[in-house]
Amino acid sequence: MRIAYLDCFSGISGDMLLAALVDAGADRDRIEAQLRKLSLDAFRLEWKKVVKTGVSALKLDVIDESAPAATPFKQLKVLGNDHVHRGYKEIVEMIKAAELAPRVSNRALAVFEKIAIAEAKIHHVPVETVHFHEVGALDSIVDVVGIALGLEELDIDELYCGHVPTGNGYVRCDHGLYPVPAPATMEMLIGIPLRQTTIQKELTTPTGAGVAAALVRDFGPLPAMTVESIGYGAGTRDLPDQPNVLRLLVGQQL
């Protein structure tokens, strides 16, 4: 069986995992072509090699082509200019309408279902009425569906993961200043083994937690496998004393 292992020593986010999948061999042109089936505003994916604390990794930015100077969505969020809030039902309908391969569609829908259930509990609303803020933005939808497409490109049957570091401190969300991990993120991490860290940053994002909760079969040390390819996906931040990258190992389970 073909498996992949997430070595998330610096956390996990959607863009880090999608970049790691492409770095490990997934065809980014085919992924981008499939992403165009989604009913989304104009965007493009910008891929570049960066070095994070001595480690070469692939960095992904989702570029808003309608914004001045083709601004990455993550920068728009920091500037407070990202106002697109999509409902859970709208995202489900969008993914189903794209007519992607069944395993791709099912994986993407599973991630958004996990996030919607967590958001519904935290905000005390029915799941079907949940409106996403950060996770409803275009870049997060691209990340989640892109991850499902990347897993399909590499023909991954099962996903495994190490213990997940959440980070510490505070993060500014659409509702205000929240502790790390944010409440919905923590809700999705129930039952998942977490790793302690002193880093005062958000290491695992809501999208990363949703992927881990929905798609990972088991958490722990590296499973018995023959590694065939390795991908490194870069995060946005520079961390003290360690590379802000996600390492993905792809191969055959023994």
pLDDT in tens, 130-171: 887 665 578 889 999 999 999 999 999 999 999 999 999 998
Name the nearest CA neighbour of 182 among 164, 198, 168, 165.
168
pLDDT at residue 122 greater than cutoff 80 = yes
- For the purposes of burial, counting CB atoms within 10 Å of the CB of 217, is it exposed (0-12), middle (13-18) or buried (19 or more)? exposed
pLDDT at residue 178 greater than cutoff 70 = yes
In order of 67, 221, 241, the CA distances from 212 in angstroms are: 31, 15, 25
Name the nearest CA neighbour of 131 among 84, 86, 178.
86
> What is the percent of the chain where pLDDT is above 70?
90
| CA–CA separation, 193 and 129 (whole Å) | 30
71: amino acid identity, one letter: T
pLDDT at residue 195 greater than cutoff 50 = yes
Predicted TM-score (pTM) of the model is 0.92
Average pLDDT of the chain, as a whole number: 91
For 215-248, write each residue's pLDDT tens digit.
Answer: 999 999 999 999 999 999 999 989 988 999 999 9
Mean pLDDT of 194-215: 95
Q: Binning pLDDT at 50, 70 and 90, where does residue 210 land?
A: very high
Radius of gyration of the chain (CA): 17
**HEC assignment per residue over 65-102:** CCCCCCEEHHHHHHHCCCCCCCEHHHHHHHHHHCCCCH
For 34-67, write each residue's pLDDT tens digit.
Answer: 999 998 888 899 999 999 999 999 999 998 777 6
Name the nearest CA neighbour of 135 among 76, 95, 84.
84
